[in-house]
Amino acid sequence: MAFTAGEIQNIANTTLDYYLDRGDQWRQTLQKRPLFDKFVARKKYFPGGKGNISLAVSGDFGAGGVNDTLKGYTHDDQVVFYTPANVKRAAYPWREMHLGITLTHTELKIDGISVVDPGSNGERTSEHSKRELTSLVGLLEDKLFDVGEKYARDFNRLLYGDGVADPKGIVGLKALVADNPTTGTVGGIDRATVTWWRNRAFTAAMGTAVSGTPALAAWGGGPITSNPANGGALLQVLQAERRNLSRYGGEPDLIVAGSAFIAAMETEIRANGNYSMNGFKGTQDAAMGQMNFAGSEIVYDPTLDDLGLSKRSYWLDTKRIMLMAMEDEWMHRHTPSRPYDKFVMFRSITSTCQVVAKGLNSSAVIDIA
Output the pLDDT for position 363. 97
Question: What CATH number labels 2-58+84-367?
Answer: 3.90.1690
| pLDDT of residue 25 exceeding 50 | no
Each residue's pLDDT tens digit, 231-246 = 899 999 999 999 999 9
Q: How far is CA 309 from CA 58, 152, 179, 262, 365, in A?
A: 33, 19, 12, 12, 11
Could you tell me what percent of the chain has a pLDDT over 70?
79
Mean pLDDT of the chain: 84
DSSP 189-244: EETTT-GGG--EEESHHHHHHHHH-GGGGGGEES-B----GGG-HHHHHHHHHHHH
Least reliable range by pLDDT among 113-117, 143-147, 164-168: 113-117
Q: How far is CA 180 from CA 203, 223, 366, in A?
A: 8, 12, 11
pLDDT band at 128 (very low <50, low <70, confident <90, very high): very low
Interatomic CA distance for residues 113 and 107, integer angstroms: 9
Least reliable range by pLDDT among 145-149, 151-155, 273-277: 273-277
Q: How far is CA 7 from CA 4, 143, 229, 240, 334, in A?
A: 5, 18, 69, 62, 17
Strand runs (DSSP E) across 227-311, as ranges? 254-257, 292-293, 296-300
Output the pLDDT for position 118. 54
Contacts of 355 (CB under 8 A, 6+ apart): 39, 92, 159, 170, 171, 172, 173, 176, 321, 322, 323, 324
Output the pLDDT for position 105. 79
First to last CA, the chain: 65
Interatomic CA distance for residues 337 and 342, integer angstroms: 11
Could you tell me what percent of the chain has a pLDDT over 90?
59
pTM reported for the whole predicted model:
0.82
Mean pLDDT of 274-303: 72
Least reliable range by pLDDT among 9-23, 26-40, 211-225, 355-369: 9-23
Interatomic CA distance for residues 199 and 180, integer angstroms: 9
Output the pLDDT for position 124. 39
Least reliable range by pLDDT among 62-66, 116-120, 125-129: 125-129
Beta bridge partners of 351: 97
Each residue's pLDDT tens digit, 308-343 = 999 999 999 999 999 999 999 998 888 787 788 888
| pLDDT of residue 122 exceeding 50 | no
